[in-house]
A and B are shown apart, each in its own frame.
Chain A
């Protein structure tokens, strides 16, 4: 989601900001879970039709669910509360990444983390 400048942050309460972020992340996670099942369920169904193995449809759905779950945990869940408290939940919500993933991405790009989020 969008990044609010430091001056703007003072205009609104932390509670309102975290509520908006929480809502966005919550529904994004839900969308990921649904789309994972649908995408790989569809792929499984198509392959299943081609090779006449109907079992591939539910298998694809389960694989999709597993992929979505893994990605959601990697992106939003892991280390959400780790670090010094500033680096955890807040930054996770800003960038949509876990703190550790965000650090890795910043390191890969060779840019300080704070710059990447502005």
Chain B
């Protein structure tokens, strides 16, 4: 893994006369594998497709022929589904929200596998650190959120329920621009940017420490620094194993709460 990431550093080491090849935005740009006109097929696209195939293949293998006494794959699949149901869906939607379970399970594991690509050797890139992959998911979630809201509360009811309850009329006038902007711009914006930002920053940190380990590696005092940088790279790696899961969890949990507020308004 180190070798592949450190490739841009080449033979550049401490005291060899070249500066530290600091990672940056260029590490998130990929040469296309192939191009069709203006369409360029890049590594993040390939990883997104692989992530989707992994999720589909796993659940297909787990539930292709479900048995009363489940095998290993089926048990794992059931654990995965029950985990999403009990930790994400039911706390927000209750039992009546079970019809949204397939959507939330798909969303959670798709995001999780895309995030996890960061830590898998050879792949080594979190798909969600490219914001273009995050916005379509945000769009799907928000479209569902609005659609369910209009479906369950009606057009006027939905707009009425957007108004915070118990707010005096003069204050409401002041709040209208804030509420509109929050609902249509900043709520979906924060949903997407949080996932993107965390994965982007995590990948950058990991790249910095791995590159620094390679750069500092020399038969001098640099070896000590390289060891320190390597220890930090391991630490960030372990941290990222948690972050990948946590970000998928947060995105899906917020999706569940949005669905809940559309299906059953609080007021």
Contact = CB atoms under 8 A, between A and B. Distances in A.
Contacts, number: 136
A56 to B, nearest CB: 15
A23 B241 CA distance: 20
User: Which residue among B97, B178, B191 has the maximum number of chain A CB atoms within 10 Å of its CB?
Assistant: B178
B254 A101 contact: no
Contact of A3 (B180, B189, B256, B266): B266
Nearest to A101: B166
B252 to A, nearest CB: 10
* Interface size class, chain A: 35 or more
A117 interface: yes
Interface of A is mostly: helix
A4 B190 contact: no
A28 to B, nearest CB: 7
B88 A20 contact: yes
Contacts of B27: none
Given A1-B257, A102-B166, A16 B178 contact: no
B69 to A, nearest CB: 24
A116 B165 CA distance: 11
B52 interface: no
Given A2-B92, A4-B93, A97-B165, A35 B181 contact: yes
B4 to A, nearest CB: 35
Interface of B is mostly: helix
Contacts of A96: 164-165, 266-267
A80 B232 CA distance: 40
B181 A38 contact: yes
* Interface size class, chain B: 35 or more
A2 B90 contact: no
A105 interface: yes
B261 interface: yes
Given A2-B93, A35-B185, A94-B266, A71 B261 contact: no
A12 B91 CA distance: 6
A52 interface: no
Contacts of A39: 177-178, 180-181
B266 A27 contact: no
Interface in A73-105: 75, 94-97, 101-102, 104-105
Interface string A1-45: 111110111011100110111011001101110111011100100
A47 interface: no
B174 interface: yes
Interface of B: 86-88, 90-97, 164-166, 171, 174-175, 177-182, 185-187, 189-191, 194, 250, 253-254, 256-257, 259-261, 263-267
